[in-house]
Structure 1
């Protein structure tokens, strides 16, 4: 049997394969898609992923992807255009500081809560400290006073800023103001940012995709350069993240291991440690209303939550480990079959039989199900 490809350590412990995670994150930061739109698109390819899982992947892996792409960054020019644009977070205005060079290549971006001198200083310090960024020779600013004051203060703390010429030409900043449109256009399909950290990570991912679109990274191979062919976006991402793309089969565009991982773990309960202290009871759901109820004392109980007669009810299926996961799933399936024919599985055997005789026809399957449910 062929050996499985080694998995990247950053995906260790994840339910889905690296192909699914990279595809969802790449599509979200590149195209004008919401989390729910992306979840529906992946579902058409045979992988069931919730929109909240994609959101957690974006917040977790965008900073890591930025570090790996930074290894292939091309140098930018020394003539910068600096400007800031407003971003709404929970209805309050925040400011995204951005800078591009004379050719329109992105230099750096930083999200700040206020439009102050300290924010402009923090942006300029991080811009020159960024890996691969050359020290600017000229910086063009708008007429906002705080930005000019920030440069004057930086000249007092570092002599290298004294050699940077400052210009105040309103027309030279048209290139950075037009470059804001790519970021603002991508944010238009989102509902709204709910927290500062979420907005900062998401905007940095959108900025990364924008830089990739402007060809600010060199990840091409010698073979493609010699043949004059252009690599696809998937191949560029695979080289930048340190792994070659997996062979694609069928019309889905996803690897076979992706489907195997998603189907194998669909109804698997997470491992629960016995000695883990808990302060409050906890529920670990498996799907279809079946869950394990974890008590602070260490007890674990199988439960089935369902609705009958317009009311929410709970059926106890046994105590773990006396009742294993396979037995709990079997009882859960039988309870759902009873519920499908209009019988409340929480009733006792005699009450269920009276209800079934009065309203439904008796069947061998239901009789066997009632016997096993007891």
Structure 2
């Protein structure tokens, strides 16, 4: 599989430092200043503002590369929406996951009406390049109306108890939202969460389901993939 190597031209810091800072920020509930302090402890002097720019520039690129490495999503998609506070106003975070809990896409919107549901359905079909066999939603009426317009041939199941995968997928976002003390703008929330949902799950291989040895092996594989997609080891852009 081929992918685009991040462009580090004109950056005076090597790729391994840039990618490590981006990894720290998206992997753990840290502020830019805390990442700056952690790098200083390792003898690397870099300002929190530089780290912020790296995360904005490279975060989504890394997330997209990781998503391309994943297997094709299953044909059963779980959709859900949850409110988030942005400067005191309620917005809605729409999320879709496959049967394994992998995030397919997210979208921050001001409403959860038919137009918002329709917009999310169309975005999903475009971003995945696939049409699911089944979509599972809650009982929000907007889903039904948009479903009939956008994907009428796809089976839709609606039941409160069926959508735990999507609901559980909101938990890491909630944790990060609390650590960040909320988001400052809809655009900022969209940018952060789009990168966050692509990077953070890569380092969560369901630890409770495997032995310690298997977990260490799996994490080694995932760190190797991270080094490859960030070009942190100077490897060629093929894998």
Which TM-score bucket, shorter chain as reference? Answer: 0.7 to 0.9
| 1:140 aligns to 2:136 (yes or no) | yes
Deviates more, 1:177-186 or 1:13-22: 13-22
Structure 1 length-normalised TM? 0.54
Structure 2 length-normalised TM? 0.83
Q: Which residue, out of 172, 178, 194, partners 2:184? A: 194
Cα deviation 1:126-163 (Å, max 9, x = unaligned): 212224x5311111111212222111222xxxxxx222
What is the root-mean-square deviation in Å for CA atoms of aligned residues?
Answer: 2.4
- In the alignment, the residues of structure 2 paired with residue 214 and residue 134 of structure 1 have an alpha-carbon distance, to the nearest angstrom, of 25
Q: Which has the higher contact order (CA 8 A, sep 6+)?
A: 2
| 1:208 aligns to 2:205 (yes or no) | no
How far 1:112 moved relative to its partner?
1.7
Q: Which residue, out of 63, 71, 76, partners 1:74? A: 71
| 1:90 aligns to 2:87 (yes or no) | yes
SS of alignment partner, residue 197 of structure 1: helix
- In the alignment, the residues of structure 1 paired with residue 6 and residue 123 of structure 2 have an alpha-carbon distance, to the nearest angstrom, of 28
| 1:235 aligns to 2:224 (yes or no) | yes
Q: Which runs of 5+ in 2 are unaligned?
A: 206-215
- In the alignment, the residues of structure 2 paired with residue 110 and residue 170 of structure 1 have an alpha-carbon distance, to the nearest angstrom, of 21
Distance 1:49 1:113, change over 3 A: farther
How far 1:181 moved relative to its partner?
0.4
Aligned length: 221
Deviates more, 1:233-242 or 1:199-208: 233-242
**Moved beyond 4 Å, runs of 4+:** none
Q: 1:49 maps to which residue? A: 46
- In the alignment, the residues of structure 1 paired with residue 202 and residue 34 of structure 2 have an alpha-carbon distance, to the nearest angstrom, of 23
How far 1:243 moved relative to its partner?
5.1
Q: Which runs of 5+ in 1 are unaligned?
A: 1-7, 155-160, 216-227, 247-374
- In the alignment, the residues of structure 1 paired with residue 137 and residue 102 of structure 2 have an alpha-carbon distance, to the nearest angstrom, of 17
Kindly report which structure 2 residues correspond to 1:289-304, keeping only aligned pairs within 5 A, or say none. none
- In the alignment, the residues of structure 2 paired with residue 69 and residue 30 of structure 1 have an alpha-carbon distance, to the nearest angstrom, of 14
- In the alignment, the residues of structure 2 paired with residue 195 and residue 85 of structure 1 have an alpha-carbon distance, to the nearest angstrom, of 16
